[in-house]
Amino acid sequence: MKKYLEVSKTDKATRTYLSARTLLNHFLKNIPETIKYLDEITFDILQEYKTKEKERGQSINSVNSKIMKIKALFNYAIEDKKLKDNPAKRLKYN
């Protein structure tokens, strides 16, 4: 994730980078503490995170934005050859 954020910092607008950083830090704080590596994150964990965000009263647009940024993180990890599959690819927008 650190490398993704470094690339985002140089490739994206400052506001976009800060938004992604905030979201990903929030995401990491809200998944099981036993997860230490991206390849340990499953579709079920992502689906549970999405459900919890909805239950917290997050708007559909906010949840969709979070899904988009999480998918981008996993896509970057695949491009960087850190992962073989994106567990977020089946995660649906609302």
**Domain coordinates in residue numbering, the chain:** 2-79
Per-residue b or e along 21-58, where b marks 16 or more CB atoms closer than 10 Å to that residue's CB: bebbeebeeebeeeeeeeeebeeebbeebbeebeeeee
Verdict on whether the full-model pTM lies above 0.85: no
Instruction: Put residue 25 in one of left, alpha, beta given phi > 0 → left and psi -120 to 50 → alpha.
Output: alpha
pLDDT tens digits along 36-92: 888 999 999 999 999 999 999 999 999 999 999 899 989 989 998 989 999 999 998
Q: What is residue 12's predicted lDDT score, i.e. its pLDDT?
A: 72
Q: Is the pLDDT of residue 1 over 70?
A: no
Instruction: Return the higher-pLDDT residue of 11 and 26.
Output: 26
The predicted-structure confidence for 11-25, as pLDDT tens digits, reads as follows: 777 888 888 889 888
